[in-house]
Structure 1
Amino acid sequence: MDLLERLITVFAENGYAAVFIALLLCGAGIPLPEDITLVAGGVIAGLGYANVHTMAAVTMVGVLIGDAAMFLLGHHYGEHMLQWKPIALLMPPRRYAKMQEKFERYGNRLMFFARFLPGMRTAVYITAGATHRVSFWRFLLLDGFAALISVPFWVYLGYFGANRREWLLMWMHRGQSSLWVLGGIGLVVLLVWWWRRRQRKLQVQSR
């Protein structure tokens, strides 16, 4: 909660730009929890320092740019990134090998669920780019769909809990479990959409 209070103070004084920059740093693997950052953005909106809908849009863009940057760096530099000191600390060779194994096992689903796995997002996105097994636009679709679930969840939670800190703290603890449920529902919706799209393509090809 101390970190949350400090972020609220900084964001209230500096507005949307501070929230946006903080989320870019989260995407780069800086040890700043993205979820708490999003909640803090929502809280300052609830306190009247920002518009909550604008905050949701700003945070969404910040999250996606941060994620996309890590994917593109991995895509462009590949395993050479492991020699960079900040990346080497975040993802030593053993962890990189484990991430590759997870991609072998779970494929695209891992990119979707990484959004709901604090501490793993940056490593997953870098590995996704470095493997060259997925296009940038597919990555952005999966990550963007997951972000549409998680980002508004945390921002509006902060907004509604701005003046009810005990309630907010309780739901922040419960929030990750709730997100897993929403993420599971979201994945089912995404899979149904893909299946229907594929069926339509097959029908067109068979004519």
Structure 2
Amino acid sequence: MERVLDFFLALPPLLVYLVLGLGAALENVIPPIPADTFVLLGGFLAARGGPNPWLVFLATWGANVGSALLVYWLACEHGARLFERGIGRHLLNAHQAERMGRFYARWGVPAIFFARFLPGLRAVVPATAGVIRLGPWRVAPPVALASALWYGAIVWLGVTAGGNLDRIRGWLALVNGGLLLIALVIFAAAGVWWWRTRRLPDPAPGEEAR
């Protein structure tokens, strides 16, 4: 870890911000890449006299929120069509999409807010919100606020406890492990819901009109 810190401290500050921001943004495209690692790294570097902690926060928070909203926009534009033909029809039918829409209409803002704290799930929620075309003003604020609270806390931890790297990394791994367990339970529940509803027939045109 010390070699990694020394390597980044030797880089130009602008390049450091770009790398940290890119790492934080990739999580929304490739969920196994944890944005938390790059945010914590930025806090450690700031504690060593490297990049400004406020700029670390802005770079990682802005990049992560921006990529989440980009995924949301792409899902709004193209997501529904993916599930209208081919294999997509078997992944999400019209009945399931309609039920998802009702869920988001009622619980969308708090669901998105709390999901942004859960590993894996935080990358899925903007895409699903886009597929059912939830309004941007119900997506952007909870995404931005939850990410600000989480990444702000991680940067603060990295800066204030940067002298004890192993302890902070272990603590963050423990917290993320607990959050991941919660996310897995939610994924399992969603899988059960999908399995139980996938065979329900799509409503016929005449039935939709009634």
TM-score (norm 2): 0.66
In the TM superposition, what are the counterparts of 1:1-207 in structure 2 within 5 Å? 8=5, 11-12=8-9, 13=11, 14-81=15-82, 93=91, 100=100, 103=104, 106-132=107-133, 134-176=134-176
- What one-letter code is carried by the residue in structure 2 that aligns with 1:166? D
TM-fit CA distance, 1:172: 1.1
Question: Is the CA contact 1:38–1:59 (under 8 Å) kept in the aligned structure 2?
Answer: yes
Q: Which runs of 5+ in 2 are unaligned?
A: 180-210
> SS of 2:27's equivalent?
helix
TM-fit CA distance, 1:8: 4.6
Return closer, same or farther for 1:115/1:48 CA change in 2, 3 Å cut-off.
same
Q: Which runs of 4+ in 1 moved over 2 A?
A: 4-14, 79-83, 97-108, 173-179
> SS of 1:27's equivalent?
coil
Partners of 2:45 and 2:149 in 1: CA distance = 21
Question: Is the CA contact 1:56–1:152 (under 8 Å) kept in the aligned structure 2?
Answer: yes
Return closer, same or farther for 1:104/1:140 CA change in 2, 3 Å cut-off.
closer
Partners of 1:25 and 1:177 in 2: CA distance = 20
Return closer, same or farther for 1:81/1:56 CA change in 2, 3 Å cut-off.
farther
TM-fit CA distance, 1:70: 1.0
> Which moved further from structure 2: 14-23 or 170-179?
170-179
* Structure showing the higher helix proportion among its residues: 1
- What one-letter code is carried by the residue in structure 2 that aligns with 1:124? V
- What one-letter code is carried by the residue in structure 1 that aligns with 2:27? C
Partners of 2:19 and 2:6 in 1: CA distance = 11
- What one-letter code is carried by the residue in structure 2 that aligns with 1:59? T
Paired-residue identity, %: 23
Return closer, same or farther for 1:168/1:29 CA change in 2, 3 Å cut-off.
same
TM-fit CA distance, 1:162: 2.0
The CA deviation string for residues 115-161 of structure 1, in whole angstroms up to 9 with x for no partner, is 111011221110001101x2112211111121221110111112223
> Which moved further from structure 2: 134-143 or 23-32?
23-32
TM-fit CA distance, 1:74: 0.8
Question: Is the CA contact 1:79–1:130 (under 8 Å) kept in the aligned structure 2?
Answer: yes
Aligned length: 166
Larger Rg: 2
- What one-letter code is carried by the residue in structure 2 that aligns with 1:172? L
Q: CA RMSD in A?
A: 3.3
Partners of 2:124 and 2:104 in 1: CA distance = 12
- What one-letter code is carried by the residue in structure 1 that aligns with 2:150? S
> Which moved further from structure 2: 64-73 or 20-29?
20-29
Return closer, same or farther for 1:63/1:10 CA change in 2, 3 Å cut-off.
farther
Partners of 1:120 and 1:7 in 2: CA distance = 29
TM-score (norm 1): 0.67
